Amino acid sequence: MLTGAPATGKSTLRARLAEVLPTVRGFDYGQRLREAIAERGQSISYAELRAQSSEVIHSSDVRELDEQIIEEIATARREFDVLIDSHAVTREQFGFRAIPFSLSQLSRLKLDAVMVLSCDPPELLH
């Protein structure tokens, strides 16, 4: 699992690894949430998702997507190395929310490693 603050390079790293390693299959959690929202007839950008997630994402969306991804990963791991690209925490109007995956779901994912990407705040401003 790749995690870390926005703009630290998670998606870039996932895409690049998938490009150079044909055995890698990536799961972009934010994209999957956007697709779930689109199924309800709404369109949302990544920036809007980050800024308004509590307004457009329901806890049931997260639970359903978590379960769906867990099943897909179990199947995909038979043929591929799997990378999950996800933020561990989102900032909401009411504070911070940890997403995705509950503790029991994380154990079902059977992660081999969690890589946390970070960078200095001044770099994020560029």
pLDDT in tens, 13-31: 998 998 999 999 988 888 8
pLDDT score recorded for residue 23 = 93
Query: Is residue 30 in some structural domain?
Result: yes
Plot region of 41 (φ>0 → left; ψ -120 to 50 → alpha; else → beta): left
For the chain, the domain total comes to 1
pTM of the model: 0.73
Contact 15, 26 (CB under 8 A): yes
Query: Is residue 125 in some structural domain?
Result: no
Average pLDDT across the chain, whole number: 81
CATH number for position 15: 3.40.50.300
Would you place residue 91 in the very low, low, confident or very high pLDDT band (cuts 50, 70, 90)?
A: low
Query: Is residue 124 in some structural domain?
Result: no
Query: Is residue 40 in some structural domain?
Result: yes
pLDDT score recorded for residue 28 = 86
- Range of 26's domain? 2-118
d(CA 58, CA 80): 30
Most confident of 14-28, 57-71, 81-95: 14-28
Query: Is residue 126 in some structural domain?
Result: no
Query: Is residue 21 in some structural domain?
Result: yes
